[in-house]
Structures are given as structure tokens and as C-alpha cells.
């Protein structure tokens, strides 16, 4: 194998690695984007639930230490 063929083989190997890395980066980017969307949705849901809990606590009567009537 002469020097030109060896160089061509190295360039071809580098191009193949670059294509694989590009595909991997794109897959990772899609995964991270989907995860951020899910995190944002979960944060909104937690805020809604927290607000509902605050409203329920504000409107609910405070429990007393009285025994129920069946005792």
C-alpha cells in the first residue's frame, strides 16, 4: 500500500467516524430537547398542584382535637 492509499484510507475512516458522531449528536440533542419539554410540563403541573393544595388548605376547616361522636 502506498502513501496515497494509506492517506485515503485514513480520511475515509475519519469521515465514517464523523458521520457516526453527527448521528449520535443529533440523537442526543433530540433526547435532551424531549427531556426539557417533559421537565417544563412537570414543573407546570407541580405549580398547579401546589396552587390547588394551597387553596384547599386555605378553605378547609382546621382539625380540632375533639373525639368523633362515635366514641
Cell of 1: 500500500
For residue range 21-35, list pLDDT tens digits in order. Answer: 999 999 999 999 999
Q: What is the pTM of this model?
A: 0.61
Residue 38 maps to a domain: yes
The residues near 9 (Cβ < 8 Å, ≥ 6 apart) are: 1
34: containing domain: 24-56
Assigned domain for 34 exists: yes
Distance in angstroms (rounded) separating the CA atoms of residues 61 and 40: 34
Q: Terminal CA-to-CA distance of the chain, rounded, Å?
A: 97
Which pLDDT belongs to residue 48? 97
Number of structural domains (the chain) is 1
Query: In this structure, is residue 3 part of a structural domain?
Result: no
In a domain, 41, yes or no: yes
Q: Determine, yes or no, domain membership for 42.
A: yes
Residues of the chain with pLDDT under 50: none
Amino acid at each position: 500500500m502506498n502513501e496515497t492509499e494509506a492517506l485515503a484510507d485514513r480520511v475515509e475512516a475519519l469521515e465514517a467516524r464523523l458521520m457516526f458522531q453527527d448521528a449520535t449528536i443529533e440523537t442526543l440533542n433530540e433526547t435532551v430537547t424531549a427531556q426539557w419539554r417533559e421537565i417544563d410540563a412537570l414543573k407546570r403541573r407541580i405549580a398547579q398542584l401546589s396552587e390547588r393544595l394551597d387553596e384547599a388548605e386555605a378553605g378547609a376547616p382546621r382539625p380540632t382535637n375533639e373525639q368523633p361522636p362515635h366514641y
